[in-house]
A = this chain, B = another copy of it.
Amino acid sequence: MKFEAVTIKDIAKALGLSTSTVSRALRDSYEISPETKKLVLEYAEKINYHPNPIALSLKERRSRSIGVIVCEIANSFFSQTINGIESIANNNGYNVIISQSRESADRELLNLQYLTSRSVDGLIISVSTETKDLSYFRELHDRGMPIVFFDRIVDEIETHKVIVDNFKGAYDATTHLIKCGYKRIATVCNAAVLSIAKERLAGYKAALTDNGMEINEALIKYCQHGGMITDEVEEAVQELFKARQKPDAIFASADKLTTGCLRILKAKGLSVPDDIGLIGFSNSELTELLDPPLSIIKQPAFEMGEIATSLLLQLIESKRPVTDFETRVLSTELLIRESTKKQKQKAKEIAS
């Protein structure tokens, strides 16, 4: 049941050399004669030798691999980000180890410990909704582990970060709803502790006040598990409709929440956009095929992954400790489709 590979010793024995000589020949050291090198190289090729990365990791204390922690890969935004991460990482000879926190702080910590104990050279992280205790991150960071946060970042730890302008994204989306003539605009957002939730909520509120509209706390609902639990979204929407002032539009501030809201609204027999408008953050490729096609705020996920990885590799390969960190802020894209097109609006369009 074991699986044994050919080692440097096998080569040494076969060729009557020492392991050091073989090792040096393989790494093209100047102290090895051309003939010996040729001999070793050819034999290594012949028996299909590959250096054992585990032994290397143990010795070098590095693994040429980077760890990624996201809440779930099934989310389009994250899978796209991962593709961006892999593209840069692989081009630079790094491997990517992906792990999911499933919005649980415990699993996040477990994954974190697993990855670090596996000697990943760096980490790219979007924290879970539950994450409160930052001590482990901090310890890691203090001990010199290169970390880049993206999407859901933590302010308290100073390192490179990659995000989008969540405030503006939410502001634009809300403003769009207002322009469409919606009056009682609700929002369904992630747990309030999350950076993205805070920023998007702030954008939503600012858009309302800037347009002379009141902020009604009854129209703001939080989903602690980021929509991982369907009931949670349903509950949020139901509560929204239990209120005295029923909403006529919803701004959903995360991928799962956006499609989650649509699902519930349709189940309730409400017509989008006529009974209720809907817009939200989403990176799903299916949103334009939905009924109705969803107006969305889209993040440059692939690019975010690329940038995060470049920054991480910079940290990893830097000779001396980096103290000058940057936060890259990218732009979101507002895609206007049917789900925010009120009848009135439609009529106007036809008339014009």
Residues of A within 8 A of B (CB): 1-5, 50, 52-55, 57-58, 61, 63, 72-74, 76, 79-80, 82-83, 86, 95-100, 113-114, 116-119, 140, 143-146, 259, 262-263, 266, 284-286, 289-293, 316, 318-321
> CB within 8 A of A53: which of B52, B118, B316?
B118
**Cβ–Cβ contact A3 & B117, under 8 A:** no
Closest 3 pairs between A and B when the two form their complex, measured CB to CB: A291-B291, A74-B79, A73-B73
Distance to closest chain B CB from A91 (angstroms): 13
Known interface pairs A117-B5, A289-B262; A80-B74 also in contact (CB < 8 Å): yes
> CB within 8 A of A3: which of B5, B58, B144?
B144
A99 to B97, CA, bound (A): 8
Q: CB-CB < 8 A to A61: which residues of B?
A: 2-4
Q: CB-CB < 8 A to A291: which residues of B?
A: 289-293
Q: CB-CB < 8 A to A316: which residues of B?
A: 1
Task: Count the copies.
Answer: 2
A284 to B76, CA, bound (A): 11
Distance to closest chain B CB from A143 (angstroms): 6
A96 to B140, CA, bound (A): 22
Q: CB-CB < 8 A to A1: which residues of B?
A: 144, 146, 316, 318-321
Interface CB pairs A-B, < 8 A, 23: A1-B146, A1-B316, A2-B61, A2-B144, A3-B116, A3-B119, A4-B61, A4-B143, A5-B116, A50-B113, A52-B117, A53-B114, A53-B117, A54-B58, A54-B118, A55-B58, A72-B79, A73-B79, A74-B76, A74-B83, A79-B79, A284-B286, A286-B286
Interface centre among A1, A79, A285, A292 (most CB of B within 10 A): A1
A277 to B83, CA, bound (A): 33
**Cβ–Cβ contact A114 & B95, under 8 A:** yes
Q: CB-CB < 8 A to A284: which residues of B?
A: 286
Q: CB-CB < 8 A to A289: which residues of B?
A: 259, 262-263, 266, 290-291
Which residue in chain B gives the minimum CB-CB distance to A100? B86
- A54-B117, A286-B286 known; 6 other A-B pairs, CB under 8 Å? A3-B61, A5-B116, A54-B54, A74-B76, A259-B285, A266-B289
A113 to B99, CA, bound (A): 20
Which residue in chain B gives the minimum CB-CB distance to A287? B286
Distance to closest chain B CB from A101 (angstroms): 11
Q: CB-CB < 8 A to A79: which residues of B?
A: 72-74, 79
Distance to closest chain B CB from A263 (angstroms): 6
Which residue in chain B gives the minimum CB-CB distance to A50? B117
A259 to B287, CA, bound (A): 11
Q: CB-CB < 8 A to A97: which residues of B?
A: 97-98
Distance to closest chain B CB from A19 (angstroms): 15
Q: CB-CB < 8 A to A5: which residues of B?
A: 116-117
Which residue in chain B gives the minimum CB-CB distance to A318? B1
Distance to closest chain B CB from A44 (angstroms): 15
A98 to B86, CA, bound (A): 12
Which residue in chain B gives the minimum CB-CB distance to A68? B98
**Cβ–Cβ contact B143 & A3, under 8 A:** yes
A4 to B53, CA, bound (A): 18
Which residue in chain B gives the minimum CB-CB distance to A145? B3
A55 to B56, CA, bound (A): 10
Q: CB-CB < 8 A to A63: which residues of B?
A: 54
A33 to B289, CA, bound (A): 68
